[in-house]
Amino acid sequence: MNEDEIRERNMALLGEFMRYAFEHPDVLDGIPKGAHLVLLPEDDEHLKEENLRALARLRAQGDRAVVVRMLAPKPVIKGIELAPA
């Protein structure tokens, strides 16, 4: 997985997390000011491993991090065409 794919998948996760946070704003209270947010998609093993490595680097630097375990967002179907059989 290259850097662009990692970034794209993480942006999709972040979007899903933000949608959840808009509906449940109290979840943001659990994130200390200045902490990094590390998203671990339970159903995307490759991205989860990449993000765990990033978490290890943050911790090694002494940075604070909050881990969020979640499912990766499913792709949205742009359109469906029905045709008579």
Calculate mean pLDDT across residues 17-45: 94
Is residue 8 included in any domain, yes or no? yes
Can you give the pLDDT at residue 73? 76
Is residue 20 included in any domain, yes or no? yes
State which of 1-5, 60-64, 79-83 shows the largest mean pLDDT: 60-64
Is residue 77 included in any domain, yes or no? no
Domain range for 50 is 3-70
The label of the residue with tokens 């630097």 reads 61
Can you give the pLDDT at residue 47? 95
Is residue 41 included in any domain, yes or no? yes
Q: Using the 8-state DSSP alphabet, how is residue 9 labeled? A: H
| Non-local CB neighbours of 31 within 8 Å, separated by 6+ positions | 37, 66
Is residue 80 included in any domain, yes or no? no
Is residue 30 included in any domain, yes or no? yes
Under DSSP, is residue 47 helix (H, G, I), strand (E, B) or coil? helix
Cross-strand partners of 68: 39
Is residue 82 included in any domain, yes or no? no
pLDDT in tens, 32-61: 999 999 999 999 999 999 999 999 999 999
pLDDT band at 82 (very low <50, low <70, confident <90, very high): confident
* 48, 41 contact by CB (below 8 A): yes
What domain count does the chain have? Answer: 1
